[in-house]
Amino acid sequence: GQQVMQIPQYQHVQEGEDFTTYCNSSTTLSNIQWYKQRPGGHPVFLIQLVKSGEVKKQKRLTFQFGEAKKNSSLHITATQTTDVGTYFCAASGTYKYIFGTGTRLKVLA
């Protein structure tokens, strides 16, 4: 079955440093979504990528979808303490979404 892996599992950064999390699928995806979950909270939708090679930006966040539509990345420039949380990718191969293992980000002030 379809598997979705994220690396790294944990990342501690100093405030102001950059952060990147990678999402890899064993199968070709139709689209991929990214969610953020604050500690004790629920996942909140960030963005959806559909096209091969697509790049989208939201302020300090940059999302990429790989050319082969099997991987994706989320890059945060100049992290802030408000970026703390776990970032999940959710990959869709057919009609359902499989969530990745998540990357837990801690930002040290």
Residues at the site binding another protein, with contacts judged by CB under 8 A: 31, 33, 35, 41-45, 48, 88, 90, 92, 95-102
Shorter beta-carbon distance to another protein: residue 44 or 108:
44
Alpha carbons 90 and 18: distance in angstroms, whole number: 22
Residue 83, classed as helix, strand or coil, is: helix
Provide the minimum distance between the beta carbon of 60 and another protein in the complex, in angstroms, as a whole number. Answer: 21
Please tell me what DSSP assigns to residue 107: E
Q: Which CB atom, from 31 or from 77, has the smaller least distance to another protein?
A: 31
Q: In angstroms, what is the minimal distance from the CB of 54 to another protein?
A: 14
| HSE (side-chain half, CA atoms, 13 Å) at 3 | 3
